[in-house]
A and B are shown apart, each in its own frame.
Chain A
């Protein structure tokens, strides 16, 4: 069934969109990630204009994270104070990101920006995750794993300290704000929640306890992506309601199925799989930039405004 998307102004198969949402949903349910970093490139591949894909994906992330945040709030695994600090950074970052996005759109380099950001971040995160999870896999086979704890890093010597009771931390607000800004910029440019950056940063850089990390990052993501959606909607008019709803319905159902598959697999195996998947997406986007395209020209709306 073909359906005409009013904002993207293209006609696509509704079942294809439901299916894409479903597959990415299954993966995100299995691995416990948002899936934005997979969905946005897939939308490029099926011919949705990049600007619409990024803005609509932000909208979808808000909705797909919503029930997750509620569940975490109920379980009290959200550090609201830390979430608030991250959020302040996130809003600043999102505003900067949308400005950058619009400026580059005017000179026709936005596709390059989006793709380069993907290659860079997916490449780094994918390889780190791959190496780390392989090591963990070896260790779990070896049997003896000793948890290491670094208590004091440079992070703890910065000014403007604040008490974060839920996380049991007394640290400066500068690092969390910077992490928030980075994630906000990524949300605006790449159409991702940024959980794949924020979660490792919270654990390794800020030293937050693992049990509050996911809830707190979801809490920050939901507000930052909502803000990003509004910014894209008011400056670019590129949020497609119809596209978001179709992807979402598939995505939510997929996520439920994925979560059930996920509990049957071992955590280390899951991490290796996720790392490989991230590297595959990164490789595909990277090759597209390196190999001479079949069509050297492209048509864009008149820019320079």
Chain B
């Protein structure tokens, strides 16, 4: 009971002056265009803390930045040895998992945000993966979500960027989030959270739009909307290219 009261007072004390702190932020770009030569992109996220009154000195100010790609249902499969070879045996369907997820923070993530606030605001990647199907046929669903995070971290799609938000004089902040080349199209929800002693005091949200453009856009649309025409076109183009290349090569040899 005593503990509860102390927590309550701490919350009251910290949240009162905190209301006066607000985020003003910007991005280096709100659009990312995937072209034929797209190799990834780096987004600069920057801003300042606007205050009406002097900042409270007792609790440290931290900044957390979350960039989250569009979510889609996926299946995680596990291999096991059957008849001497490794084959997929178990599978778990996940209702939604983000295609990209980066969490940048000014201190380590545990220090920047409390576990309770992490659950409330869905900050770390574990919180943003939804398992809606009852995974009763799976002994250990954690094993599958851990594998998902591990694989995507390895391919640079999920990132935990601790201590990468540069905070100057408790007012200015900036960080860079690199988007890899294998991006999914869609709206990338970008959140900036201000915390004091692990509690979120202010939140700012914007969107980065990622889109295929030009030829890439056209090919992708054609392949999905008019697949027969696309298939015929690929055959014609391939035959023409093959013929052209051999004709050109013969011409070079002759001269």
Q: How many Å lie between the Cα of A290 and that of B81 in the bound state?
A: 9
Assess whether B231 is in contact with A248, with CB atoms less than 8 Å apart. no
Assess whether B181 is in contact with A233, with CB atoms less than 8 Å apart. no
Assess whether B38 is in contact with A4, with CB atoms less than 8 Å apart. yes
Q: How many Å lie between the Cα of A229 and that of B220 in the bound state?
A: 16
**Tier of interface size on chain A:** 35 or more
Is B86 in the interface zone, CB < 8 Å from A?
yes
Is A85 in the interface zone, CB < 8 Å from B?
no
Q: Give the residue name and chain of the B residue nearest to A119 (CB).
A: B85
Q: How many Å lie between the Cα of A295 and that of B86 in the bound state?
A: 11
Assess whether B37 is in contact with A241, with CB atoms less than 8 Å apart. no
Q: How many Å lie between the Cα of A59 and that of B237 in the bound state?
A: 10
Contacts A4-B36, A234-B228, A234-B231 given; does A298 touch B242 at CB 8 Å: no
Q: How far is the CB of B245 from chain A (nearest CB, A)?
A: 4
List the one stretch of B22-30, B106-114, B144-152, B199-207 in contact with chain A: B144-152
Q: How many Å lie between the Cα of A3 and that of B216 in the bound state?
A: 11
Assess whether A302 is in contact with B72, with CB atoms less than 8 Å apart. yes
Q: How far is the CB of B39 from chain A (nearest CB, A)?
A: 5
What is the interface size of chain B, counting residues whose CB is below 8 A from a CB of the partner?
Answer: 60
Q: Which residues of A contact B93 (CB under 8 A)?
A: 302, 304
Q: Give the residue name and chain of the B residue nearest to A302 (CB).
A: B73
Q: How far is the CB of A123 from chain B (nearest CB, A)?
A: 14
Assess whether B76 is in contact with A298, with CB atoms less than 8 Å apart. yes
Assess whether B77 is in contact with A108, with CB atoms less than 8 Å apart. yes
Is B234 in the interface zone, CB < 8 Å from A?
yes
Q: Which of A9, A230, A298 contacts B77 (CB 8 A)?
A: A298
Q: Which of A110-145 touch B at CB < 8 Å?
A: 111-112, 116
Assess whether B216 is in contact with A299, with CB atoms less than 8 Å apart. no
Q: How far is the CB of B14 from chain A (nearest CB, A)?
A: 40
Q: How far is the CB of B68 from chain A (nearest CB, A)?
A: 17
Is A147 in the interface zone, CB < 8 Å from B?
no
Assess whether B242 is in contact with A63, with CB atoms less than 8 Å apart. yes
Contacts A66-B243, A248-B241 given; does A303 touch B75 at CB 8 Å: yes
Q: How far is the CB of A39 from chain B (nearest CB, A)?
A: 14
Q: Which residues of A contact B79 (CB under 8 A)?
A: 293, 296-298
Among A3, A4, A67, A301, the one with the most B-chain Cβ atoms within 10 Å of its Cβ is A4
Q: Which residues of A contact B84 (CB under 8 A)?
A: 290
Assess whether B35 is in contact with A4, with CB atoms less than 8 Å apart. yes
Q: Which residues of B contact A302 (CB under 8 A)?
A: 72-75, 93-94
Among A244, A252, A303, the one with the most B-chain Cβ atoms within 10 Å of its Cβ is A252
Is B12 in the interface zone, CB < 8 Å from A?
no
Is B59 in the interface zone, CB < 8 Å from A?
no
Q: Give the residue name and chain of the B residue nearest to A301 (CB).
A: B74
Assess whether B39 is in contact with A2, with CB atoms less than 8 Å apart. yes
Q: How far is the CB of A287 from chain B (nearest CB, A)?
A: 10
Among A233, A293, A303, the one with the most B-chain Cβ atoms within 10 Å of its Cβ is A233
Is A249 in the interface zone, CB < 8 Å from B?
yes
Q: Which residues of B contact A230 (CB under 8 A)?
A: 228, 231-232, 235
Q: Which of B47-100 touch A at CB < 8 Å?
A: 72-81, 84-88, 91, 93-94
Assess whether B151 is in contact with A297, with CB atoms less than 8 Å apart. yes
Assess whether A239 is in contact with B75, with CB atoms less than 8 Å apart. no
Assess whether A1 is in contact with B216, with CB atoms less than 8 Å apart. no
Assess whether B38 is in contact with A301, with CB atoms less than 8 Å apart. no
Q: Which of A7, A112, A252, A295 contacts B223 (CB 8 A)?
A: A7
Q: Give the residue name and chain of the A residue nearest to B223 (CB).
A: A237
A-B pairs with beta carbons under 8 Å apart, 9 shown: A4-B34, A6-B223, A11-B39, A67-B246, A108-B88, A229-B234, A249-B242, A256-B253, A297-B79
- Which A-B residue pairs are the 7 nearest by beta carbons? A233-B231, A297-B147, A11-B181, A63-B238, A63-B242, A302-B73, A252-B245
Q: Which residues of B contact A (CB under 8 A)?
A: 34-40, 72-81, 84-88, 91, 93-94, 144, 147-148, 150-152, 181-182, 184, 212, 215-216, 219-220, 223-224, 227-228, 230-235, 237-239, 241-243, 245-246, 249-250, 253
Q: Which residues of A contact B (CB under 8 A)?
A: 1-4, 6-7, 9-11, 59-60, 62-64, 66-67, 108-109, 111-112, 116, 226, 229-230, 232-234, 237, 239, 241-242, 244-245, 248-249, 251-253, 255-256, 289-293, 295-304
Other 16 A-B pairs with CB < 8 A, given A108-B75, A292-B86, A302-B75: A1-B37, A2-B37, A4-B35, A7-B219, A10-B181, A62-B235, A108-B88, A230-B235, A232-B231, A234-B231, A244-B238, A245-B237, A249-B241, A252-B249, A295-B147, A298-B76
